[in-house]
Structure 1
Amino acid sequence: MKRKKKFVFNWRKYFFETLSMFIAVVSAFALSNWSQDRRDSNAEREILKAVVNALNNDLITIENNKSGNIFAKKSCVYLRDLITNKPVNQDSIQDYYNNVFADFSFTPNKTGYEGLTSKGLDIIKDDLLRVRITYYYNYYFDVLTKIEEQNEAVQAFKNYFFPINNVLANYMEFNDKGELIEIKQPIEISELDKKKIYSYLWQLESSREFKIMIYTQLETQLKVVLQHVKTTLDEMN
């Protein structure tokens, strides 16, 4: 009678096979996560670079517009002094006169932010940076957009340029190219015309002062965001 062959379970063999499969699965999962993290980091880096470029362009525009409004406000003072027959420098008369009515508009550059939202805001790991970028683009842009939509400077040009120009035209001197070179003094106009011009200049100055305040706040906020983005990029490199 034949003896049945005893079955011996080779636990070592199956243990190492199971361990090998486990290690392979975990490694594949880890590699997949690493690859995804790397793609996300690269995407975050590229988005932040685009944000930096957009913010730099915005900062230049804001600084120029702020300076333009400061000079426009100064031009209102110049024109008021001219009308009251105070001594003024006529060499820059054309610049001052033009800037009393000049318009300095700001068109926000949302390229970087649009790229960020298309990828998903969560791609930025720094919570504070994400909040700052979102607040800058959503809150400050909305405020500035509403101001630009009102377009007070263009409206002021329509409302105030011609009444002021009609009063001062008799005192203007032009060169052969048709450029304003002098507004002769003394300027003798009625008290009513003088008060009207003063009221126009006061409203123009108030509008400039408001825009200067908004641009100053926006400039401060933008510089904070810009520095935070640059610091984050430096840490990623």
Structure 2
Amino acid sequence: MEKNKNGNPSWPVGRYLKYAIGEIILVVIGILIALQINNWNEEQKAIHKQSLVLKELLNSINNDFYEYDSYLDPRLQIKKSGIDSLDAYMIDNKGINDSLFINFYNMARQDVHFRYGNGPFEALKSSGLDLIRNDSLRTHINNSYTSGLPTLVLFANEYYYETKPKIDELFYKLIGIRQQNLPNGSSNLVNNLKVDDVLTNEDFLWALQLEKDKYEQYTSRLIQIRTTLLDLKTAIEKELEE
């Protein structure tokens, strides 16, 4: 080993350079590893956040299905039962007493209001749709909640509001309210039929046709809404499984 002028051993310049370069390489490698770890952590955070958002959307869709099954379907079944019962009396050309007619008619007049949960989607919009990393799924979600579902629900509910004035007008031509005295001395208000031969009455036939049209509109829109939600649910579940 070489010695300096003081007699102490000294390293050649080339060895110092190699040592320095080696240190720099180690530092660079350390920085790259740290960046990779940081990028991996950020990636995992993004994946976790997307998973939470998708699960919230999925929970909202399942809640919609539950509401349709427990609220809309039973009411539509009541409506259909009332319509079918009135049709059966008309086909058999049988007379019907006032209370039975009023009961079936009120069943046929059952209405529903369509809606869907959009809270998780609004929260996603506020956070940024880019949270959804899959381009196709992001487009699917956005189109469903900004176009598909709002349009279907709007058409279904608009038909109710469009027909309501005429249906109410026909109802009050057919059905009145009278006071009924009870054996205990009290009284209450009950419906009574205002026309004779109601099953052949033109106002009733028109009213019944409107209720039939409304039932068809409701069931058709409900099928379309369910299909839209089911397609979206399937796409979200597939993404969560990957």
Q: CA deviation at 1:214?
A: 1.4
Shift of 1:88: 7.6
- CA RMSD, Structure 1 to Structure 2 (Å): 3.8
Residue pair 1:52, 1:229 contacting (<8 A) in 2 also: yes
Aligned length: 228
**2:111: which partner in 1?**
103
Higher relative contact order (CA 8 A, sep 6+): 1
For 1:163, the aligned partner's letter is L
User: Given the alignment of the two structures, is residue 224 of structure 1 paired with residue 225 of structure 2, yes or no?
Assistant: no
TM-superposed deviation, 1:30: 0.8
Name which of structure 1's ranges 153-162 and 104-113 shifts more when overlaid on structure 2. Answer: 153-162
Whether contact under 8 Å (2:167, 2:210) holds in the other structure is no
What secondary structure, in the 3-state scheme, does the structure 2 residue paired with 1:9 have?
helix
1:9 to 11, 14, 20: 14
Aligned equivalent of 1:68, options 62, 66, 75: 75
What residue is the counterpart of 1:78 in the other structure? 85
The answer to whether the 8 A contact 2:82-2:105 is kept is: yes
1:119 aligned to 121, 127, 135, which one? Answer: 127
**Distance in 1 (alpha carbons) for counterparts of 2:215 and 2:19:** 84
Contact 1:76 1:201 in 2 (8 A): yes
For 2:36, which of 16, 30, 37 is the aligned residue?
30
2:153 and 2:221 in contact (8 A); partners too:
no
Q: Which stretch of structure 1 is more off in the superposition, 37-46 or 96-105?
A: 96-105
Stretches of structure 2 that go unaligned for 5 or more consecutive residues are none
Is residue 2:197 matched to residue 1:188?
yes
User: Percent identity among equivalent residues?
Assistant: 18
Cα deviation, residue 178, structure 1:
5.8
Greater CA drift, 45-54 or 216-225: 216-225
TM-score normalized by the length of structure 1: 0.75
Query: 1:222, 1:202 → 2: CA distance?
Result: 30
The 2-side partners of 1:174 and 1:137 are apart by 53
Indicate conservation of the 8 Å contact 2:114/2:157, yes or no: no
For the pair 1:200 / 2:200, whether they are aligned, the reply is: no
Following TM superposition, by how much is the alpha carbon of 1:49 offset from its aligned partner in structure 2, in angstroms?
A: 1.1
Change (3 A) 1:179 1:154: farther
Residue 126 of structure 1 and its aligned partner are, at CA, apart by 2.6
Q: What residue ranges of structure 1 are gaps of 5+ in the alignment?
A: none
Choose from 33, 41, 50 the match for 1:44: 50
User: If you compute each CA radius of gyration, which structure gives the higher value, 1 or 2?
Assistant: 2
> Structure 2 vs 1, CA of residues 167 and 114 (structure 1 numbering), >3 Å: closer, same or farther?
closer
Residue 174 of structure 2 corresponds to residue 167 of structure 1: yes
CA distance in 2, matches of 1:132, 1:13: 57
2-structure distance, mates of 1:92, 1:53 = 42
